[in-house]
């Protein structure tokens, strides 16, 4: 006799003569192989019994009441049509499950995340991020359903990286994986972020400091060495501008003439070139303008201020400034291209300039991304005054004067 909604709703676990609940499920038959299986805990599952190729098989059609009697019969009729055509519905389900699993694999979602977000990154950062997870995550968890990856399993992946002495890389990979898991959660393909559970599971990294010279007398010696640099004129100019502007090395080498306005003495670096992805203004001192005017006849017709020595369509190499410092005799333990930023930060703070103005000029991270996007001109009058005073101070050091830093509060 076919089932009814009332009969299904009233179906309860069977009770033994001694009053205890049976430990085995029982079945309530409907029609054409469809039946309801009632479990000892009261759960109710729809099943379809069918024969194909001479073998009896069963297929789950879902849980009642999520799947109603009407829906269960509709599923049954659909599957019976497949069976009549010699198609085993269990094979189709396995193929669909495999396809869904592949679509929800860690690697598939990671690549999707990378494609979507890397458009706003620098090319170097995008390539480095993908390489890290391709080499250190995909081989072990790439094929796994992202929702099945546990925190201990992810930790095992990170331990492999840590054990080869790349602790900082292990932390970076965990950070990247966390972003991927959160993207999967937002798109409905994962329920939680196991990377967040690993806080404290890896030893902390030791902060790396870029080698820098901050003693005034030694800065003067460095500046005099830079002024006597005998390499190419393009490299020499970039080297001389490094302490004056103290931007990141990558920002300097990719400077374009279209970004520089010598009339108003400003270099406006577009967001896509900045680490924090916001517009950055670099006030130009008279010394910086003079250097730019000297190189303009050589590269001013090209796109880049400091083009590659191989082609003007690309900027100079990212290790050009560092190589020049090595040529001057400075080791990596003494001075780096990035060290000009530490030099300026240390000395300007010692001299009493507004700390916030210094941080803004260094283009350091702003916690509020929206605020950062609108604060690119913050403290600009003071920063212009500071950049000129800094250039004048460097000139004095280069001449060998004995300069004693003094605290100087600037009121604009």
Domain 106-198, CATH number (from 1.10.620.20, 3.30.1540.10, 1.10.150.130, 3.20.130.10): 1.10.150.130
pLDDT at 277: 72
Residues in a beta bridge with 315: 307
CA 379, CA 30: separation in Å to the nearest integer?
Answer: 78
Span(s) in the chain for CATH 1.10.443.10: 216-398
The H-or-E segment that residue 344 falls in is helix 339-350
pLDDT at 406: 43
pLDDT-flagged residues of the chain (< 70): 95-102, 206-209, 276, 365-376, 401-412
Span(s) in the chain for CATH 3.30.160.390: 5-100
Q: What is the DSSP letter of 197?
A: G
Closest alpha carbon to 247 in 311, 207, 305, 290: 305
pLDDT at 205: 76
Per DSSP bridges, beta strands 26-29 and 280-283 are unpaired
Residues in a beta bridge with 35: 29, 47
pLDDT at 364: 79
Q: Which DSSP string do the residues of 101-161 spell out, in sequence order?
A: HHHTBHHHHHHHHHHHHGGGS-HHHHHHHHHHHHHHTHHHHTTSBGGG--HHHHHHHHHHH
Q: Which DSSP string do the residues of 243-260 spell out, in sequence order?
A: HHH---HHHHHT-BGGGE
pLDDT at 403: 55
Q: Which CATH class is domain 5-100?
A: alpha beta
pLDDT at 372: 43
pLDDT at 407: 42
Span(s) in the chain for CATH 1.10.150.130: 106-198
CATH 1.10.443.10 matches 216-398: yes
Catalytic machinery residues: 248, 275, 338, 341, 364, 374
CA 247, CA 276: separation in Å to the nearest integer?
Answer: 13
pLDDT at 96: 62
């Amino acid at each position: 006799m076919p089932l009814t909604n009332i009969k299904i709703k009233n179906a309860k676990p069977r009770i033994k003569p001694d009053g205890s609940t049976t430990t085995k499920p029982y079945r309530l038959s409907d029609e054409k192989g469809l039946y309801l299986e009632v479990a000892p805990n009261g759960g109710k599952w729809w099943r379809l019994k069918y024969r194909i190729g001479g073998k009896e098989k069963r297929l789950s059609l879902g849980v009642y009441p999520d799947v109603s009697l009407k829906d269960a019969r509709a599923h049954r009729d659909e599957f019976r049509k497949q069976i009549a055509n010699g198609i085993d519905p269990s094979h189709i389900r396995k193929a669909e499950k495999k396809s869904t699993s592949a679509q929800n694999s860690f690697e598939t979602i990671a690549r999707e995340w990378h494609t979507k977000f890397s458009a706003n990154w620098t090319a170097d950062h995008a390539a480095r991020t993908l390489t890290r997870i391709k080499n250190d995550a995909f081989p072990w968890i790439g094929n796994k359903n992202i929702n099945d990856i546990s925190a201990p399993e992810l930790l095992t992946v990170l331990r492999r990286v840590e054990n080869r002495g790349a602790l900082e890389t292990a932390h970076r990979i965990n950070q990247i994986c966390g972003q991927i898991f959160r993207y999967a959660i937002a798109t409905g393909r994962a329920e939680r972020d196991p990377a967040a559970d690993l806080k404290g599971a890896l030893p902390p990294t030791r902060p790396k400091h870029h080698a820098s010279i901050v003693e005034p007398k030694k800065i003067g010696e460095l500046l005099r060495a830079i002024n006597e640099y005998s390499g190419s004129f393009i490299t020499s100019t970039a080297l001389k501008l490094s302490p004056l502007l103290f931007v990141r090395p990558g920002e300097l080498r990719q400077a374009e003439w279209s970004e520089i306005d010598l009339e108003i003495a400003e270099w406006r670096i577009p967001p896509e070139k900045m680490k924090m992805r916001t517009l950055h203004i670099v006030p130009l001192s008279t010394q910086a303008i003079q250097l730019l005017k000297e190189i303009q006849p050589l590269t001013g017709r090209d796109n880049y201020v400091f083009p590659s020595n191989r082609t003007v369509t690309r900027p100079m190499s990212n290790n050009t400034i560092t190589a020049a410092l090595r040529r001057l005799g400075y080791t990596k333990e003494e001075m780096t291209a990035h060290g000009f930023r530490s030099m300026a930060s240390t000395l300007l703070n010692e001299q009493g300039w507004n700390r916030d103005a210094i941080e803004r000029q260094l283009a350091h991270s702003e916690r509020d991304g929206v605020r950062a996007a609108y604060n690119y001109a913050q403290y600009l009058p003071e920063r212009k005054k500071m950049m000129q005073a800094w250039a004048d101070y460097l000139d004095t050091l280069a001449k060998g004067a004995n300069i004693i830093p003094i605290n100087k509060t600037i009121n604009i």
